[in-house]
Amino acid sequence: MSLTIDDLNSLQIDVLREIGNIGAGNAATALSKMISKRIDMDVPKVNILEFKNVAELVGGPEVEVVGIYFKVTGDITGSIMFLLDKQSSKLLTNLLMGMEDTTDTLSEMEFSALQEVGNILAGSYLSSLSSLTGLKLIVSIPSLALDMAGAIISVPVILFGQVGDKVMLIETDFCEGTNHVKGNFFLIPDEESFEILLKSLGVV
Amino acid sequence: MADLIKVGMADLNTVCFPGVLTTLGLGSCVGICLYDSTTKIAGMAHIMLPSSQQIKNNSNIAKFADTGIVKLLEDMLQIGAKRNKIVAKLAGGAQMFNFNDSSDIMRIGARNVSATKESLKALNIPIIAEDTGGNYGRTIELYSDSGILLIKTIGYGTKQI
């Protein structure tokens, strides 16, 4: 039997937090370069939650958010989810494309730009994780949805339903100072991958 | 307005008149609503997965369509609902993200809906209305006074079934 969520000790959780730190640090740097703005990043959190509490993590199940979802395959499997509230996604596309679009909707072009941002962030997160661990990691193409946070976050969470009653999400919050673009970045390794991931860093 | 009782993910609950049950932000999960109009007893389950079979850890029975429905029905009968008067309404089962490879886990919404229908059929509970599928989230409210199921979405309007 491989390592499960309940088996994780505090050292292992610290290591997972550090993975979030390094991965998200690289992703934040990439985002900062892309929009030529300073990006602040919080200390990552390792959230171990029951399913019914997951939506609270993202501000409540009904908040309208943009979710950019990636599947991770290779030596470990899991998901990456980049969440932005609707206002932040609008601000971010304006910054990226040098526009002042004040409409309430997001155009095809803006969706496409957000997917590309997601792509770059997920790529830099995973490549740093890959060089740290020596594991081979492959990220899928992005898939984007603008909808209720609960509905969006349920997608990676369902995978955990097959193995247990809790989910673990490594979360890092970003904030762009002057324009208040706020986002959350989640790395959600599948439970079967915990052991491989931790072993690669010598803590199993 | 009557109290709104929230049903979380992988959770279920029942109410008597005049209670209202709600579950927020249903994605690929399915909201199963059972209602007996004679006693005005309502029940709602928010299931995540189609079947408890072949799953290693299936202690939370509200997580699965097959076991969740059975438990919900038991709970309703316990507070006085009439077995042969109970009808069902379904909502949810969307596919939130689109990937080209139609792997099983990506089609989970559709699988949840069909498993729910099979379980209801096995229990002889008629499905009188449904709003399932699509690629968008839903918030649902089940009113015990009328049995009406209110479905709210972002960008796809609000409807009653």
Inter-residue contact A85 to A171 (CB < 8 Å): no
- Domain containing B45 equals 4-160
Inter-residue contact B80 to B38 (CB < 8 Å): no
Q: Averaged over A161-186, what is the pLDDT? A: 82
Phi first, then psi: give them for residue B105, nearest 5 degrees: -70, -25
pLDDT of residue A182: 84
pLDDT of residue B2: 60
Count the neighbouring beta carbons within 10 Å of the beta carbon of residue A174: 22
CA dist., res. A148 & res. B95, Å (int): 13
| % pLDDT > 70, chain A | 99
Is A49 part of the contact surface with chain B (CB cutoff 8 Å)? no
* CATH code assigned at B56: 3.30.1330.200
How far is the alpha carbon of B129 from chain A, nearest alpha carbon, in Å? 21
Interface with chain A: mutation pick from B53, B55, B96, B102, highest number of A CBs within 10 Å: B96
Answer yes or no: is pLDDT of A8 > 80: yes
Between vectors from CA A87 to CA B107 and to CA A173, what angle results, nearest 5°?
Answer: 75
pLDDT higher for A42 or B56?
A42
> Cβ-count burial of A134 within 10 angstroms (0-12 exposed, 13-18 middle, 19+ buried)?
exposed
Answer yes or no: is pLDDT of A119 > 60: yes
Domains in chain A (CATH in brackets) are 5-200 (3.40.1550.10)
Least confident of A91-105, B36-50, B65-79: A91-105
129-188 in chain A: CB under 8 A from chain B: 140-141, 143-152, 154-155, 157-159, 161-165
What ipTM was estimated for this complex?
A: 0.84
| B chain contacts of residue A154, beta-carbon cutoff 8 Å | 9, 25-29, 48, 96
What is the number of domains present in chain B? 1
Q: Give catalytic status of residue B16 as yes or no.
A: no
Provide the token pair at A102.
């004040």
Q: How far apart are the first and last CA of chain B?
A: 20
Least confident of A77-86, B8-17, B94-103: B94-103
Residues of B with CB under 8 A from a CB of A: 8-11, 24-29, 48-49, 55-57, 59-60, 63, 94, 96-99, 105, 108, 135-139, 154-155
Size of interface A-B (CB pairs under 8 A): 111
pLDDT of residue B13: 93
| B chain contacts of residue A163, beta-carbon cutoff 8 Å | 55-57
Answer yes or no: is pLDDT of B97 > 80: yes
Provide the token pair at B12.
């279920």
How far is the alpha carbon of A36 from chain B, nearest alpha carbon, in Å? 30
Residue A151 and residue B97: Cβ atoms within 8 Å? no
